[in-house]
Amino acid sequence: MTDARRVGVWEAFADQFLDTEVRYDIPRAALCCVEAGITAAEAWDIWRFEVTPAVHFNIWSVAGEWALWNTEWLRERIERIRADPLPPRPLAHALYRLRVHFLNSVGVAIVRCVKLLEACPPESRRQAAFQLVALARHYFDFCPQPIPEGERAELRLLYQRDFLPLFRQLSPPSSADARVRAALV
């Protein structure tokens, strides 16, 4: 039986393959890893060799799944994948790149976010993740909730110091950057 925390990581990662904008949830996926005791290196392998083979088809589908994955279906599918021996690493990585070459940057961002959260004191990890989600909502979404005035100064620092290095490769920063900067004024 698979640990429920690992299933939570699978779900958080699989959500990145839904046919809707979900990149704002990358910090939450990273927090799932940290809280489950999964390192950045393990998260990278889970992304490439467990979740991607299970749900990559959705990014190629014209009418893909956009709501949620069925947890039981996802668990069973990934457990079947884990039961099969992996091809040699270079071949396994090549298959991964062929499946999701343009979503690779999402996996990289998750791993970078895991490293950032691992470096945070344990008592402040959740707050850091939720602050990153708030910034990501403004960066990737056109209709985010306003940021309360009392939080803007701290978020401005986090945006420059941590957020941009993590997320810049996921979206051209011109309009995304302008939306965040306007929300933080």
Question: Which one, of 146, 151, 157, lies nearest residue 182 by Cα?
Answer: 146
How far the first Cα of the chain sits from its last, in Å, is 49
Reported as a single tens digit per residue, the pLDDT across 65-119 is: 778 899 999 999 999 999 987 777 788 878 877 777 778 899 999 999 999 999 9
Q: Is 57 in a helix, a strand, or coil?
A: helix
Task: Identify the sign of the CA torsion 67, 37, 27, 42.
Answer: negative
* Rounded distance between C-alpha atoms, residue 105 and residue 168, angstroms: 10
Where does the chain have alpha helices with state H? 4-14, 26-35, 40-46, 52-55, 57-60, 71-83, 89-100, 104-119, 125-140, 152-158, 164-167, 173-183
Question: What's the CA gap between 138 and 151, in Å, rounded?
Answer: 14
pLDDT in tens, 9-44: 999 999 999 988 899 999 999 999 999 999 999 999
The CA-CA-CA angle for residues 38, 26, 51, to 5°, reads: 60
3-state DSSP assignment of residue 124: helix
Mean pLDDT (the chain, rounded) = 89
When pLDDT is cut at 50, 70 and 90, the band that residue 63 belongs to is: low
Burial (CB count <10 Å: 0-12, 13-18, 19+), residue 143:
exposed
Q: Provide the number of structural domains found in the chain.
A: 1
Full residue range of the structural domain in which residue 137 is found: 4-183
